[in-house]
Amino acid sequence: MGCNAVRTAHNPFSEEFLNVCDSMGFLVMNEMFDEWEKVKEPATTQNGKKIRIPVDFYANIFHKWADKDLTDFVMRDRNHPSVIMWSIGNEIDQMRKPAGEIIGKRLAKIVHQLDYRPITNGVHGYGWGVWPDSAAAAVNDIYGYNYIKNDGLDKERQLHPNTKTIITEHESAQSFYPRGTYLYDDAKKAWWDKLAYEYNEAFEWVEKRDIRGESGMNAWKWVKERPHVMGMFIWTGWDYLGEVIPFGWPARSSSFAPIDLCGFPKDGYYFYQSQWTDKPMVHIFPHWNLDGMEGKKVTVYAFTNGEEVELFQDGKSLGKKTNNCQGVEYQSWDLIYKPGELKAVSYKNGKIHAQKTVRTAGEPAKIQVNCRRNSMKANAQDLIYVECTIIDKDGNEVPTADNMIEFEMLGPATIAGVGNSNNMSLESFKSNQHSAFNGKCLAIIQSTRISGDISLIVKSSGLPSTTIHFHSK
């Protein structure tokens, strides 16, 4: 995807994680607290009404342990070259009050006594606006804002013209969409809204924040246009269990990230790839299996790090569009849907730069199995991730397939988990079978302490089985 920095949210990560960041060259905003003395009150529903219930986490022991824990945290991590700044809190509303400023000064003093790197604090910019002069100047070396808008960044610059600023958190490109989900027809929109609990019209709520609204793509534009803003972290890099906004039951995982729960990229992943990488690429969406949309208008989008993109429908050019280097860099075409083929060709310096083809897939015919390696350490800890994709007879991915996939393990290994990234699925992660979601499923293989040959048989009713081989030593 091309990212070069990680914010650890919102507590200390393992030393092993920082070792990986050191070796790979990632920059780390190393964060300690999600609460100070005041507990947070996440939203939930009770008898159909939205309420907030205090959840007691670190706040109960903050007064006793905060100074020692922060000291140990900085002492443990300060020799990691990947750490470029310290964060002493996330969305701490006490920072708006005199008592919070006192706490912030105390924590900042501890960090500055132990290390020279700057301090920041992720402040929620939605309702809080910009920092008051006193708290900002007294506590933070770098002003950090969560979900601040472009006008907020400009106001902050007017108030504090010599400050250093970072967007410590913002929604990602096309946040809230599960992978491969495109809500074109009314039935799917109604299904989406039925699952909403915090917002009356979930689909409308998401539409306002997607590619056509106030999304992570616009936020990246704001960063590029303002030299004093050093960068932006997105919420979040990877989907996770819990925090299922804007859904209700049976949703059990978030859909905020450009990478889904199983590690499969969503469309938003390719937006960041187009902004943060130089290797030629172009990506188009949606997929072209839009049953029920025949004869209706569909908008097709493209991301590229080239200069121009040309879209072809069934071999006919629909015209070239130019990347706007000063704005949100995507292209779109309105066309009438019919099964067939879409092809995007990007150009740079007048020459073909990258190509991407999407075809209407036929019926499921085979399970395509991929993994990055085929050897394991016999230490009972090593893992191999096996990606299963449903394809048609011509090798095209079937983007709507939901076949039940079974896994049979032979040899000294176990199935550690299975999944498909469907945030509405209640299927067990600890099983030898799992349905595909929008064409994909994942199995995680774990070694034992015994060396030997391993085979994983992948099968689904009506499809030929596929076998993949490993070795443990």
Q: In the structure, what pLDDT confidence band is assigned to residue 130 with cuts at 50, 70 and 90?
A: very low
Q: Count CB neighbours of 10 within 10 A.
A: 17
Write down the residue that tokens 């493209």 correspond to: 302
390 DSSP β-pair partners = 367
Looking at 91, 101, 310, 329, which residue is catalytic? 91
Q: In the structure, what pLDDT confidence band is assigned to residue 190 with cuts at 50, 70 and 90?
A: low
Write the CA distances from 244 to 30, 144, 340, 423, integer angstroms: 25, 25, 35, 8
With CA atoms as reference, report the closest residue to 4 among 29, 26, 22.
Answer: 26
Write the CA distances from 211 to 207, 256, 271, integer angstroms: 8, 14, 10
Whether residue 244 is predicted with pLDDT greater than 80 in this model: the reply is yes
Domain map (residue ranges) of the chain: 5-175+210-235, 282-359, 366-472
Whether 107 contacts 88, CB under 8 Å: yes
Question: Residue 81: is the preceding peptide bond cis (ω within 30°)?
Answer: no
CATH of domain 282-359: 2.60.40.10
Q: CA-CA distance, 322 to 124, in Å (whole number)?
A: 35
Q: 166-175, 188-197, 216-225 — which is least confidently predicted?
A: 188-197
pLDDT at residue number 128: 45
Q: CA-CA distance, 87 to 69, in Å (whole number)?
A: 14
| Residue with more model confidence, 146 or 419 | 419
Q: 144-158, 225-239, 295-309 — which is least confidently predicted?
A: 144-158
Q: Domain 5-175+210-235: what homologous superfamily?
A: Glycosidases (3.20.20.80)
pLDDT digits (tens, 9 = 90+) for 194-215: 666 555 555 555 555 554 335 7
pLDDT digits (tens, 9 = 90+) for 434-469: 999 999 999 999 999 999 999 999 999 999 999 999
Residue 259 sits at the vertex; the CA angle it makes with 17 and 381, to the nearest 5 degrees, is 40
Domains 282-359 and 366-472 share a fold: yes
- Residues constituting the chain: 473
With CA atoms as reference, report the closest residue to 176 among 157, 197, 150, 202.
Answer: 202
**How is residue 353 written in tokens?**
């730069």
With CA atoms as reference, report the closest residue to 470 among 405, 377, 402, 406.
Answer: 377
Looking at 169, 171, 310, 397, which residue is catalytic? 169
Average pLDDT over residues 266-278: 93
Q: Which CATH number fits domain 366-472: 2.60.40.10, 3.40.50.150, 3.40.50.10310, 3.40.462.40?
A: 2.60.40.10
Average pLDDT over residues 292-302: 92
Whether residue 96 is predicted with pLDDT greater than 90 in this model: the reply is no
Write down the residue that tokens 């003395």 correspond to: 37
pLDDT digits (tens, 9 = 90+) for 25-56: 999 999 999 989 888 876 666 666 667 777 77
Determine whether 37 is an active site residue: no
**How much is the mean pLDDT over the chain?**
88
Write down the residue that tokens 């960044």 correspond to: 153
Q: 145-154, 164-173, 458-467 — which is least confidently predicted?
A: 145-154
Q: In the structure, what pLDDT confidence band is assigned to residue 129 with cuts at 50, 70 and 90?
A: very low
- At residue 372, φ and ψ (nearest 5 deg) are -85, -20
Q: Count CB neighbours of 353 within 10 A.
A: 19
pLDDT at residue number 160: 80
Question: Residue 10: is the preceding peptide bond cis (ω within 30°)?
Answer: yes
Q: Count CB neighbours of 224 within 10 A.
A: 16
Determine whether 15 is an active site residue: no
Write the CA distances from 71 to 76, 112, 350, integer angstroms: 9, 10, 56
